[in-house]
Every structure is written in structure tokens, then in C-alpha cells.
Amino acid sequence: MTEPSPIHSAAPIQILGEDGSCADEHRGLLSDEQVVQALEAMVLNRILDRRLLMLQRQGRLGFWMTSRGEEATILGAAVALEPEDPIFLSYRELGCLLWRQIPLAMIFNQLIGNGRDVCLGRQMPVHYCYREWSIPSVSAPVGTQLPHAAGFGYAARLRGTGQVALAFCGEGTASQGDFHTALNFAGVFASPSIFLIRNNGYAISTPESVQTAAESLAVRGEGYGLPGLQVDGNDLLAVVKVVGEAAARARAGDGPTLIEALTYRMGAHSTADDPSAYRSDEEAEAWTRLDPFERLKRHGAWRGVWNEELEAETHARLDQRVVSTLAECEKIPPPRVETLFEGVLETVSPQLEAQRDEYLAMHRRRSEGGYEVP
């Protein structure tokens, strides 16, 4: 057993040493096999970030959001939870999908919005939804996932399912009213839930310094009557430890936890952003020294389970898989136009039927080349 983390922490909890080592008591947080799995997931995450960004620039994908630099926070949470614990994503948490082994094709089908996308192209790229893997649908208005998690946790408590709901949000989103609604509800009803703030420094161009006048976001926990702690979000083992302990507390009936993970968004906010307009190269450069992938690689080497050769072999194998799967998914046609009118209402009203028929007739004329858009 490792020492439990404090309930409130003023300084971020950290485990990995600069040389990749950790104290003996923390070694068991992850098995050697899990360290290798996490490294493979990070390799894949970086391949996807690079390739999907290129795809967007080539006009083959509408939108992409990278998670480079935040992988330890994102993966660590998924590693620490049980597969049936729902993770309410914000949008930047590709790593959770990779840890839960959601097939790459299902991820690409969502991004492309093709006919095999479970949401039939009705959501923006990165607004994932995978019920079978306990990933509820991402909602575009930021913060809505927080009350969803508080409510899910409460329902799980009433039903006695033993599940814990985790919601991610950015530090900018923590300024939304939904943050208060969720934490207050979760605290009062001892909802087995975890609120994990990825404090990556920026909400698009707005720096974290203007999000709160308090010394941290973690201290807010106290006002809601729940533990609030800070963790080094680029230290995978530390994230696994604090999320694991929060999940154990929640399952034991001791209610929710607020966690603030300190990390950095190494890339742009999204493919519609240029960070050079609002932050210096020196700042971004300083954070590369704390790169979570490099730190985990050093830890893998320290354990003797990872080296450059293995990384190169893993990279080549996964890159090939990404390229071939993408090629297959790009061949899948878009959803049938009829699906626009399906799957929402159980009974279709006569008015909607008329609109559907009119639309389909127009669509037919158009595809036959005989229809001019007025």
C-alpha cells in the first residue's frame, strides 16, 4: 500500500523523478505491462495527432483537436478507472478512447461522419459517443458534461451499481455555471463522481491566470465540502494514484473529489487556432522539458521495459495500422440522406413526413442534375 494522498493539497502531487525513477512504494501503481501499454497508447496518440492534423490541412477532415502534452492526465484517469465507469469527456481526451481499446475505425468513422458513424455524422468531429465503452456523448457547449457526471454518479449510487462517473473539463470551463451546479449537487448527494480539471494553461487564447483569483482551482473543493487536490498532470503515475484513490473513496460511499491536473497544451487549441498570436515560443519550449511522453519513456527505461528500438518498432507498426484503417474508413460513403429524418422521433408526424418527401424529391432532382438551388 502506498501512502494515501492528502485530502487537500497545496503543492501538486508528484511521483516520477527527473531520471524516470519512482519510490519503491509507488512501483506497484502500474505493472510493467501497463507501463508498456500506456507508452504504446502515447505513441498512437502522437501518431494520430500528427496525421489527423495533416488530414484536416488537406481538406479531408473538418476539424481536429490535439492533446499533445496532456496525455498523462488523460490516460492516467482512464487507467485508474474500471471499464464500466463512465468517462464524460470534454473533447480533448482521445487517450481515454485508446486506453479503452475503442477500434480505430470507430474513431475515424466519427471524425469523418460517414455512414458507419454511430451518430451518422450529426455531431462535429471529436464529439465522440461509445455506449459500449462507457463513453457518453460529448456535448459541444462546454461544461454540460459536469452535471451529467454528477447525476450519473447519483443514479449509480441509488441503483447500487458500484460505478464511478468521471468528468473532464478545462480550467476555462471551470468558470462556467455548470461547474458550480455539478460540484454542489455532487457534494450534497455524495455522488460517486470525480471532477478532473485539465489545467493546460489556456482556454483558447485566455490564460489560466484570469480564470480565478484564488490560489488554485483545487481549493474550490473545500467550498463544496469535498476533497480538492492538485496533481502534476504530466506525471502518469501521480495521476493514476490520485484518480485511483478518488475512485476508491467514491465507491466506498465517501462522495466526490475535485482534482486539478497541472499540464500544458503543447499544440494549438484546435485546427482553427494559431497560438503564436497569444503565447511565446519560449513558454511552450519550457514545457517541452516536462513532456509527459518523455517522462514516461524514462520511467519505462528505468524499469527496463522500454527502449528506442521498441519505440521505433511500435511507431512503425501503429503508423501502418493508422494509415490502412484511415484509407478504409475514407472509402465508406456518407450516411443515407433519409437518416436525417430517422432515429429521433418514434412516430413521425404527417408534417415531418411531408417535409421528408419534399426534401428527398429535391435531393433526387439535384443528384440527377436537374435542380438549380434558388
By CB under 6 A, residue 227 contacts ligand TPP:
no
Q: Which of 11, 23, 54, 140 binds ligand TPP (CB under 6 A)?
A: 140
Note whether 202 binds ligand TPP by CB under 6 A. Answer: yes
Q: Does 340 bind ligand TPP (CB under 6 A)?
A: no
Q: How far is the CB of 89 from ligand TPP (least distance, A)?
A: 11
Nearer to ligand TPP, 172 or 256 (CB): 172
Q: How far is the CB of 54 from ligand TPP (least distance, A)?
A: 21
**Please, which residues have CB within 8 angstroms of residue 241's CB and are 6 or more apart in sequence?**
2, 5, 13, 15, 26, 29, 80, 231
Write the DSSP string, 63-116. -----TT-HHHHHHHHHHS-TTS-EE--S--HHHHHHTT--HHHHHHHHHT-TT
Angle at 40 between CA 34 and CA 45, to 5 degrees: 125
Q: How far is the CB of 172 from ligand TPP (least distance, A)?
A: 3
Q: Is residue 110 a contact partner of residue 118, using CB atoms and an 8 Å limit?
A: yes
102: left (phi over 0), alpha (psi -120 to 50) or beta: beta
204 touches ligand TPP by CB under 6 A? yes
Q: Does 49 bind ligand TPP (CB under 6 A)?
A: no
Stretch that binds ligand TPP, among 19-27, 49-57, 168-176, 338-346 (CB under 6 A): 168-176
Catalytic residue IDs: 265, 269, 278
By DSSP bridging, strand 165-170 and strand 228-232 are unpaired
Using CB under 6 A as the binding rule, whether residue 87 contacts ligand TPP is answered as no
Helix (H) or strand (E) holding 203, with range, is strand 202-203
Report how far Cα 4 is from the mean position of its chain's Cα atoms: 26
Question: Is 191 one of the binding residues for ligand TPP (CB under 6 A)?
Answer: no
Q: Which of 97/326 has CB closer to ligand TPP?
A: 97
Nearer to ligand TPP, 220 or 265 (CB): 265
Closest listed residue to residue 113, CA positions, set 58, 149, 61: 61
> C-alpha angle 183/12/210, rounded to 5°?
60
Q: Establish if 92 lies at the interface with ligand TPP (CB under 6 A).
A: yes
88 within 8 A of 165, measured Cβ to Cβ: yes
End-to-end, the C-alpha distance of the chain in Å comes to: 71
**Residue choice 9, 134, 163, 173 for contact with ligand TPP (CB under 6 A):** 173
- Draw the binding track, 258-297, toward ligand TPP (x: CB under 6 A; -: no contact): -------x---x----------------------------
Written as one letter, the residue type at 148 is H
How many of the chain's residues bind ligand TPP (CB under 6 A)?
A: 16
200 near ligand TPP (CB under 6 A): yes
Q: Is 48 helix (H, G, I), strand (E, B) or coil?
A: helix
Out of 141, 350, 369, 370, the only residue in the binding site for ligand TPP (CB under 6 A) is: 141
Nearest to 153 by CA among 130, 125, 180, 183: 183
Single out the segment in contact with ligand TPP by CB under 6 A; choices: 98-106, 170-178, 220-228, 353-361.
Answer: 170-178
Residue nearest to ligand TPP (CB): 170
Interface residues with ligand TPP (CB under 6 A) are 92, 140-142, 169-173, 198, 200, 202-204, 265, 269
